[in-house]
Amino acid sequence: MSEALSRTMEIRKHVVETDRGVVAAQHRQAAEAGAEALRAGGDAVDAAVACSFVLGVLEPWMSGPAGGGAALHWRADTGRAHALNFGMRAPAALRIEDFPLSGEGVADDLFPWDRVVEDRNVMGARAVAVPALVDGVEAAHRRWGRMPWAELVAPAIAAARRGLAIDWYAALIIAGATRDLARDPDAAALFLTGGQWPRAFSWAVGTEDRLDQSRMADSLDILAREGAAALHGGDLGAALARDVRDKGGYLGLDDLARNRARFETPLAVPYRDALFHVMPGLTAGPTFARAMEDLAAETLSGPDSACPAYARALIAAYRDRLGGMGADGEISAAPGSTTHFSVVDRAGNMVAHTQTLLSLFGARVVSPATGLLLNNGIMWFDPVQGRPNSLGPDRPCLMNVCPALGHAGGRRFALGAAGGRKIVGAVTQLASFLTDFGMDLEAAFARPRIDVSGTDRIIADDRIPGATLDELRMVAPVTVTRKSILPYPFACPSGVLQEATRRSGVTEPTSAWGDAVAEQD
C-alpha cells in the first residue's frame, strides 16, 4: 500500500432507485446510452447492446469489438436464466514452437506463467486470440431485442466520431502503458501524442486532447449496417485478420467464421434460501459454485466475522480451479482489461454482462484497417505443455469472468465485476452480503472486502477490524491495503437489484467513471 495515500478520505456512491429500468456500468456515458434505449421502449437486451458498444469506444483499453466475454440473461416472462458464452479461442494456425520459454523467470503481466521469449504470449500480434463479442451481443439481440440493431449501435458511432476526451483518469491509464503502446506504430498513433501520453483537460489552459477514433467509427458503422456477419466472415473480418497476420499473428477469416457465440445451460447454484445462476465451462462460474458450496457449510454471524469463512471457501475453490482448469495465480499488481455492466428493465428482465480484452490495452496492438485495439487472449494459456490449460491451436480460452444472477427473499439481482482473478471473490462476497445479511446494494458495495486470487495469500481492506484480520492470518498470510481509485487492489463490481416494483443500481465506489443511470420518463 502506498504510504502517500490519504487515511481520512472516504469515497461513496449513492444507489440509483426507480420504478423503471436501471443500467450500472463502468462508464457513465455507456450507462446513459443503455438507459436511453430503455426509455425508447427497449428491452434490457437492447440496453445491453447500446451499453456494450459505447463501452468499447469510451473504455477502449478494457474491451471492444475485438474481445470476448460472457453474459447471463434473466427473462421475467418465462422465469428462466440463459447463459451466453462469447469467449475467445486460439487461432487454428497458431504454432506452439513460436512460444519458446525464455528461462528468465515468470511474466510480469496478469499471470505468473513461465516467461516466453519476447513476451509473445502477452504483447504483439501473436498474442491475439479469435474474438466473439459482437456475435455475442447480436445473438442476444436476435432472440429478445425489440429495437433496430443499427439504432442501438448509433450512440457508439457518434462517440467514436467525437473521439474519447482525455481527462485525468484517461491520461493516467494511457501513461501507465505508454512504453508498451509505443512498440506498435498504430497503437502509438491512436493513443499517444508525439510518443507520449496525451494531455489531460486543464481548467487553467482550457485545452482538451481527444483520441482520433474515426477509423473505429467507420468499422462500427459497418457493424451497424451488416451486423456480426461483417466481422465473422465478411470484409471487416478479412481486414482485421489481414492486419493481424501482417503484424506476425495467426488470426484468419476462417477462425472468425467458426468462433461464434453460443447459448449454454447456466449452472444453478442453490445457497441456503437463495438460488444463483452463473456461467458453466471455462469461466469463473464453477469456481463461484464451489466457493458457495463450502460457504453454505459455515455459520456466518456477521459480515466482519464472515471474512475467514470467505477466505476458506475461496481458497478451496481456487485449489480446485488451479488443479483442474489450469490457470495459475494472478499477479495482483497487474492491471486487468475487463468491464462489467448490469441491466434491469421495467418488466424485470435482467442482464449481467462481462466483456474483456484480457490485459489492459490487450495485446497493445491496433488494427490499422479497422481502428480496433486487439485482445491478448493467448495469455490465458499456460505456455508450458502437458498442463490442463496448455497453449495449443484452436483451443478455447479459460476466462475469469463471473456474471451472476441471484434470487433470495423476494429480491432478484444481477452482479458481476472487472478485475481478472479478483472477480470471483468479489461476486462471492457480494452474493453473501445480499443473501446472508439482507443488505441493500449501497451497503453491500460499501462493505470492505477481502481478495483471494489463489491459494496462498489474502488481500484485506484496512477497514476490516483488527480481530478479524488476526483470524484471517490463521487462514493464510494477509496483506492489508487501502482501497484507491488507481490501481485497484480489489475487483470493480456493478450490480442491479429488483424488489417488488422498485429497481436499483450501483457501481464500485472507487470507479472514477462508473455509474448507475435510471431510465427517464
3-state secondary structure 435-492: HHCCCCHHHHHHCCCEECCCCCCEEEECCCCHHHHHHHHCCCCEEEECCCCCCCCCCE
501: confidence class by pLDDT, cuts 50, 70, 90: very high
Work out the end-to-end distance of the chain between its first and last CA atoms, rounded to an integer number of angstroms: 45
Q: How distant is the alpha carbon of residue 365 from its chain centre? A: 19
203: confidence class by pLDDT, cuts 50, 70, 90: low
C-alpha grid cell, residue 315? 481458497
The stretches of 40-87 forming alpha helices (DSSP H) are 44-58
* pLDDT digit string, tens, across residues 71-80: 999 999 999 9
Q: What does the pLDDT read at residue 330?
A: 46
Indicate the SS3 state at residue 267. Answer: strand
d(CA 455, CA 47): 38
Percent of the chain exceeding pLDDT 90 equals 84
Stretch 459-469: mean pLDDT, rounded? 96
Stretch 250-261: mean pLDDT, rounded? 98
* pLDDT digit string, tens, across residues 20-42: 999 999 999 999 999 999 999 99
Stretch 435-454: mean pLDDT, rounded? 95
Lowest mean pLDDT among 207-211, 242-246, 352-356, 513-517: 207-211
Contact 187, 342 (CB under 8 A): no
Query: In the predicted model, is pLDDT for residue 227 greater than 50?
Result: yes
Stretch 359-374: mean pLDDT, rounded? 97
407, β-bridge pairs = 275, 412
Q: What does the pLDDT read at residue 332?
A: 44
416: confidence class by pLDDT, cuts 50, 70, 90: very high
Stretch 133-161: mean pLDDT, rounded? 98
d(CA 455, CA 329): 8
Q: Which amino acid is at 405?
A: L
* pLDDT digit string, tens, across residues 179-190: 999 999 999 999
C-alpha grid cell, residue 332? 495482483
d(CA 101, CA 303): 44
Exposed / middle / buried, residue 446 (Cβ in 10 Å: 0-12, 13-18, 19+): middle
C-alpha grid cell, residue 375? 485482445
The total number of residues written for the chain in this structure: 521
Q: Which amino acid is at 275?
A: L
Q: What does the pLDDT read at residue 328?
A: 43
Indicate the SS3 state at residue 330. Answer: coil
Secondary structure letter of residue 517 according to DSSP: E
Dihedrals φ, ψ of 383, to 5°? -70, -10
C-alpha grid cell, residue 264? 449454454
Q: What does the pLDDT read at residue 325?
A: 54
Stretch 81-106: mean pLDDT, rounded? 95
Stretch 348-368: mean pLDDT, rounded? 97
C-alpha grid cell, residue 32? 446513459
| β-pair type (515-518, 16-18) | unpaired
Contact 198, 174 (CB under 8 A): yes
Query: In the predicted model, is pLDDT for residue 387 greater than 90?
Result: no
* pLDDT digit string, tens, across residues 293-324: 999 999 999 999 999 999 999 999 988 877 66
Q: Which residues of 33-66 are buried (b: 16+ CB within 10 A; e: fewer)?
A: bbbbbbeeebbbbbbbbbbbbbbbbbbbbbbbbb
Per-chain mean pLDDT for the chain: 93
Q: What does the pLDDT read at residue 60?
A: 96
Cis peptide before 487 (omega within 30 of 0): yes
d(CA 52, CA 477): 38
Contact 59, 360 (CB under 8 A): no
Q: What does the pLDDT read at residue 329?
A: 46
Residue 32 zone, left/alpha/beta (φ > 0; ψ -120 to 50; rest): alpha
327: confidence class by pLDDT, cuts 50, 70, 90: very low
Q: Which amino acid is at 17?
A: E
355, β-bridge pairs = 69, 339
Q: When comparing pLDDT for 415 and 207, which is higher?
A: 415
Give the residue from 329, 462, 430 showing the smallest Cα distance to 10.
462
d(CA 460, CA 469): 8
Stretch 96-125: mean pLDDT, rounded? 88
Q: What does the pLDDT read at residue 28?
A: 98
Contact 481, 461 (CB under 8 A): yes
SS (H, E, C) 144-187: HCCCCHHHHHHHHHHHHHHCCECCHHHHHHHHHHHHHHCCCHHH
Q: When comparing pLDDT for 333 and 488, which is higher?
A: 488
Q: Please, what is the angle between helix 423-436 and helix 307-324, to 10°?
A: 140
d(CA 190, CA 411): 45
* pLDDT digit string, tens, across residues 417-429: 999 889 999 999 9
Query: In the predicted model, is pLDDT for residue 334 greater than 80?
Result: no
Secondary structure letter of residue 379 according to DSSP: G
Q: What does the pLDDT read at residue 488?
A: 78
11: confidence class by pLDDT, cuts 50, 70, 90: confident
Q: How distant is the alpha carbon of residue 197 from its chain centre? A: 24
336: confidence class by pLDDT, cuts 50, 70, 90: low
110: confidence class by pLDDT, cuts 50, 70, 90: low
**CB neighbour list of residue 445: distance below 8 Å, 6 or more residues apart:** 13, 15, 430, 493, 495, 506, 507, 508, 509
Q: When comparing pLDDT for 488 and 157, which is higher?
A: 157
